[in-house]
Chains A and B, each alone.
Chain A
């Protein structure tokens, strides 16, 4: 599983990174949360608002700071 947080380094992006790290720790996924801060890399995901959460190359949330619980819901295996 690959988890990325997209954001240009603003306060909200740091909040989402922290929430994601907490969710990953609680789920004991044992993967690192990657931070994507370069604008050109961010734009490859076709998001228009940051921060965004990307799981396995898919944008799961954009423009929102999620709570750790909300991140956990997005990280659970999809039916």
Chain B
């Protein structure tokens, strides 16, 4: 597909956008590769040391009995905190590098002119790798709609971007194995694709604020960023500094709650009201989860602890998806471009999708 030439909104004679950094010299690339190898080696050594060190700390240094409640809670906390933070740093670094290949503008250029069904699938997939922050939801929404990307396709992207969260995916993989991670990925993508498609069929364009369509623009252009190997590694490190720096209190809070549940909630207590047999627990989990807003990294330790005490996987995953995919702040931001009716339908369709997934998991597993 020939990519359109960059089109600057201002006269071409004026200063061009930030000049690309000069191509990295071979020596610089070699040094970056060496530092990267050393960094990854240190990471692996630290990760291997977590279990022995955390056990030594809780049962020897603090002298807690391994069977006691406090011992269980403290050991959980001391084991999970470094494990989750280390995993998080590695994942965020890798995702930061992948994301340096994608920008909102590039994703828009890929989606522009796609048919609805294909568009929904592509939008859901691109939602995983495109950098997205809920505070940018409105400019992104308008940017998509004004180049003629169908509303349903745009909504598929807006569902997938927060819901299929790469941090959640890799943490599920690390804690519960590839099956749970794959189920999460597949069902999250399905919800994004199907709910976007359904919303597109409902012809809800009249519930978009009319001024959005006034600024229609014909072309979707994007600018390529030339980064080179060193530049991409730097982007990865920037992502680690920014994201880990921001979410670590959430992670600690999540692990502390998880540790409390782990040590003090009796085994099987949750079976009666979060187990498979309680069908109503799935919608209840979604209703509780929608107004809650947490980071994916903070919610997973809670998920782990709930599962360990007999809660059903479908119920817990439905809760997690509702917490990270639908958030009150994002709805308030989207209100600037969407009428309340459309927001309500959007939340309703996505929440229904999440509930169906919860029931499906509980029935199948």
Contact = CB atoms under 8 A, between A and B. Distances in A.
Interface string B70-88: 0000000000000000000
B140 A48 contact: yes
Given A47-B139, A47-B143, A49-B104, 7 more contacts: A8-B135, A12-B133, A39-B138, A39-B336, A48-B140, A58-B9, A58-B15
B131 A49 contact: yes
Interface string B1-45: 000000011100011111000000000000000000000000000
Interface string B326-337: 000000010011
A59 B104 contact: no
A65 B8 CA distance: 21
A39 B139 contact: yes
Given A39-B337, A43-B142, A63-B103, A58 B135 contact: no
Contacts of B135: 7-8, 10-13, 50
A32 B271 CA distance: 61
B217 A46 contact: yes
Interface of A: 7-8, 10-13, 39-40, 42-50, 56-61, 63, 65, 73-74, 78
B143 to A, nearest CB: 4
B272 interface: no
A56 to B, nearest CB: 8
B18 A63 contact: no
Nearest to B211: A40
Of the listed residues B133, B135, B140, B337, the one surrounded by the most CB atoms of chain A closer than 10 A to its CB is: B135
Interface in B88-111: 103-105, 108
Interface of B: 8-10, 14-18, 103-105, 108, 131, 133, 135-136, 138-140, 142-143, 211, 215, 217, 242, 333, 336-337
A75 to B, nearest CB: 11
A78 B139 contact: no
Contacts of A42: 139
B9 A46 contact: yes
A52 to B, nearest CB: 9
B131 to A, nearest CB: 7
B104 A48 contact: yes
A59 B108 CA distance: 18
Contacts of B139: 39, 42-43, 47-50
A14 B139 CA distance: 17
Contacts of A50: 135-136, 139
Contacts of B103: 49, 63
21 contacts: A7-B135, A10-B133, A10-B135, A11-B135, A43-B142, A46-B9, A47-B139, A48-B108, A48-B140, A48-B143, A49-B104, A49-B131, A49-B139, A50-B139, A56-B14, A59-B9, A59-B17, A61-B17, A61-B18, A65-B242, A74-B18
A78 B16 CA distance: 9
Contacts of B105: 48
A43 B140 contact: no
Closest CB pairs A-B (n = 10): A10-B135, A78-B15, A48-B143, A48-B104, A49-B136, A58-B10, A49-B104, A39-B336, A48-B139, A39-B138
A70 to B, nearest CB: 9
